[in-house]
Chains A and B, each alone.
Chain A
Amino acid sequence: MTMIERRSLLAGAAAAPVLAGWTRRRAKAQAANTIRVALLCDFSGTYRDVTGPTELACIRQAAAEFNATGMNVEVVFADNQNRPDVGSNVTRTWIDRDGVDAVVDGGASSVALAVNDIVREKNKVFLNTSSATSDLTGRACSPNTVHWTYDTWMLARSTGGATVKAGGDAWFFITADYAFGHALERDTANFVKAQGGRVLGQVRTPFPGTTDFSSFLVQAVAARPKVIGLANAGSDTVNCIKQASEFGLGRRGIRLASLLMFLPDVHAIGLSTAQGLICTETFYWDLNDRTRAFKAKMRPQVSVPLCMNHAGGYAAVLHYLKAAADMGVAAAKASGAETVARMKAMPCDDDCFGPGRIREDGRKLHPAYLFQVKSPEESRGEWDYYKLLQTTPGEDAFRPMSEGGCAFVRS
């Protein structure tokens, strides 16, 4: 090594700490003006398509729209692997080490309930956009949480209610054996019974890891129900519907109630098998000009059909950022509960869900749409899968606050 090289090396070594200190100071100054939003959901398993990369694209879209206004929004993400322990660890690391201000989604209900507790303990914000359990605004409600997109009570009322009304009054449930499945079964069973229907039985299927549902379908048929309620989601629902059609359930007059089905699921099943099924979502790209504009905006960035969870990620983050901008970034970073309180005080309006509001218990209120899956002949183009059957206004679609049992609302 020649002298000159060594000298320049030494000079460089001396300069390094100075440079590092400078960038660190600059980063610190920037951090004070930066909102960090973190998406936690399934990126590799059965719920990947209904959340995952597509939801990430939607959240980045919301962040980009805000970055344009001069606020600095950073988006990070992680795979929860549908496991509460993984979700909890990631959330703690994000908040304790990485300075995350808001956790978005949470994913599977079991994970979401764990994240819910941590975010409350750390006084950050939890924008839940794809978990189903209505307990998030019931016994597990938190002043730091907004439950945006849908919940099991709403699905039970919309899909379950419509099915009972159409004569399906004897039910058997095929239930995913964890928090979400139990909540969806419970809420639907309550509805069925309240409307004079009967629940003949249920079978709890291991989650994750069940691919063959034929055995459970045969058990269900043996109970002679009029309706088999699918209290599951993602590829579990897809497999159930495919296999029910294989075992000729429809021909024997037994209806399937897909209590939670998303547009990507319909895409996966195919219209020839899925046609005629009913399901409930709070967003569909072809509802009105604003939703169509949202699709047009997102289409180049996504590969799976947009569903309500994706839209929920966009809309919840957008509203959160509006509140943060309104109260100032520093104040928003200081207290999650204050930020959520501001979100509740501000009326919501976005392209996906239209005007709405967030109730005191953290429940976002917007209309619920009951859809029927089109036949292959009726479908005219890309993602054209749903016919709108019925709209329930936001104030009626969700469980009344008085029935939820949310502790901090009563006090």
Chain B
Amino acid sequence: MDDIFGIPAPLLFGQLLLGLINGAFYAMLSLGLAVIFGLLNIVNMAHGAQFMMGAFAAWMLLAWFGIGYWWALLLAPIIIAITGIILERLLISRLYKLDHLYGLLLTFGLALIIEGVFRNEFGSSGLPYRIPDALSGAWDLGFMFMPVYRGWVVIAALVLCLATWLIIEKTRLGAYLRAATENAALVQAFGVNVPRMVTLTYGFGVALAAVGGVLAAPIYSVNPQMGSNLIIVVFATVVIGGMGSILGAILTGFTLGVVEGLTKVFWPEASATVIFVIMAIVLLARPAGLFGRA
């Protein structure tokens, strides 16, 4: 068996693959954050809580209404997006003219409240959510056992990321959105309803978080902390990629997943820290992030 840096090659390939899977979650979540920050200038600290709500929505749909995984994948993001839209209309929209910090504090407070409510209602140890039958089982890749479900997560995440990037960069709607961030008044003068577009964008970003939550539900324990565990890493991803850069968020998400996966092999104790070390280095060398415009 060939060794690479003292680690058997098959094990290393396995870890790369697993890193890519975690990277899919980072990419999907940081994408939502980047969309919201890029177009609304809001640092959405509630993103982790909305990811968690997505997972809980899937659980509730199944436990209370008998609605399975595939419908949940469609319905949960819609439900959570609606709650996001309500939040945006009632609270967040009042902060657009103020400093970023106010939006950050508001959404952080909202995240704490949402998590507290779920913790009180459902406890902290989590709820069971089974992998759908069609995606259960595993492929034997020779060098490792690859659960079908994880493969599905990577594919789903890639498709979502690509679609979002295409919509924002290549369609007329995306062009409106980008124009509105540059000069909202001018775009409004052309007859585009900018406030409604901004609201829907926030809803879309939140929906992305919720899809991530539904995808995560069968793998992780569905519990109120599941979002806050991820959100810090995801923020680091956005900062490394460059605040507001869609492509940056996607690429950085996948890359960091892989880096973290490799750290888990070579120095497991440091795997929770490595992303922040990278963030510090990137901020020193390129304060605007890898893909950000200074």
Contacts and interface: CB of A to CB of B under 8 A. Distances in A.
A204 B125 CA distance: 22
B229 A267 contact: no
Interface stretch (A144-152, A159-167, A205-213): A205-213
A248 B147 contact: yes
Interface stretch (B78-86, B167-175, B244-252, B264-272): B264-272
Nearest to B270: A206
B130 A218 contact: no
A272 interface: yes
B121 to A, nearest CB: 9
A222 B11 contact: yes
Nearest to B223: A235
Interface stretch (B18-26, B68-76, B97-105): B18-26
A335 interface: no
B272 A210 contact: yes
Contacts of B150: 214, 246
B226 interface: yes
The 5 A-B pairs with the shortest beta carbon distances in the complex, nearest first, are A270-B128, A206-B272, A48-B124, A49-B125, A268-B125
Nearest to A269: B128
Interface residues of A, number: 46
B15 A215 contact: yes
A264 to B, nearest CB: 5
12 contacts: A48-B123, A203-B264, A212-B22, A212-B220, A215-B18, A218-B14, A218-B15, A243-B219, A246-B150, A247-B147, A264-B125, A273-B130
B15 A238 contact: no
Interface in B102-137: 116, 119, 123-128, 130-131, 137
B221 interface: yes
A238 B123 contact: no
Nearest to A208: B229
A203 B268 contact: yes
A185 B277 CA distance: 29
B213 to A, nearest CB: 13
B264 A219 contact: yes
B251 to A, nearest CB: 20
B27 to A, nearest CB: 14
A380 interface: no
B125 A211 contact: no
B130 A52 contact: no
A163 B114 CA distance: 42
B265 A209 contact: no
Contacts of A265: 125
A89 interface: no
B96 interface: no
Contacts, number: 126
A303 interface: yes
Given A210-B272, A242-B219, A246-B131, 16 more contacts: A48-B124, A49-B124, A205-B268, A206-B268, A206-B271, A206-B273, A214-B21, A215-B18, A215-B271, A218-B11, A222-B14, A235-B124, A246-B219, A269-B128, A272-B128, A304-B123
Contacts of B116: 44
A260 interface: no
B149 interface: yes
Interface string B47-89: 0000000000000000000000000000000000000000000
Contacts of A243: 219
Interface string B1-24: 000000010110011001101100
A237 to B, nearest CB: 9
Interface residues of B, number: 44
A234 interface: yes
Contacts of A48: 119, 123-125
A356 interface: no
A268 B126 contact: yes
B138 interface: yes
B220 A242 contact: yes
Interface in A84-118: none
B265 A211 contact: no
A212 B225 CA distance: 13
A239 B149 contact: no
Contacts of A219: 11, 15, 264-265, 268
B128 A211 contact: no
Contacts of B11: 218-219, 222
A46 interface: yes
A212 B21 CA distance: 10
A177 interface: yes
Contact of A214 (B8, B18, B128): B18
**Most chain A CB within a 10 A radius of its CB, from B11, B128, B230:** B128
A221 B229 CA distance: 26
B22 A268 contact: no
A246 B223 contact: no
A50 interface: yes
A235 B125 contact: yes
Interface string B244-285: 000000000000000001001100111111000000000000
A246 B126 CA distance: 17
**Most chain B CB within a 10 A radius of its CB, from A44, A48, A212:** A212
Contacts of A268: 125-128, 221, 223
B288 interface: no
A212 B260 CA distance: 11
Interface string B195-232: 00000000000000000000000111101011001100
A242 B150 CA distance: 13
Contact of A46 (B225, B269, B272, B273): B225
Interface string A259-287: 00000110111101100000000000000
Nearest to B15: A215
Contacts of A203: 264, 268
Contact of B220 (A239, A252, A303): A239
A177 to B, nearest CB: 5
B269 A206 contact: yes
A53 B51 CA distance: 25
A27 to B, nearest CB: 32
A202 B126 CA distance: 26
**Most chain A CB within a 10 A radius of its CB, from B127, B149, B220, B221:** B221
Nearest to A203: B268
Contacts of A44: 116, 119, 124
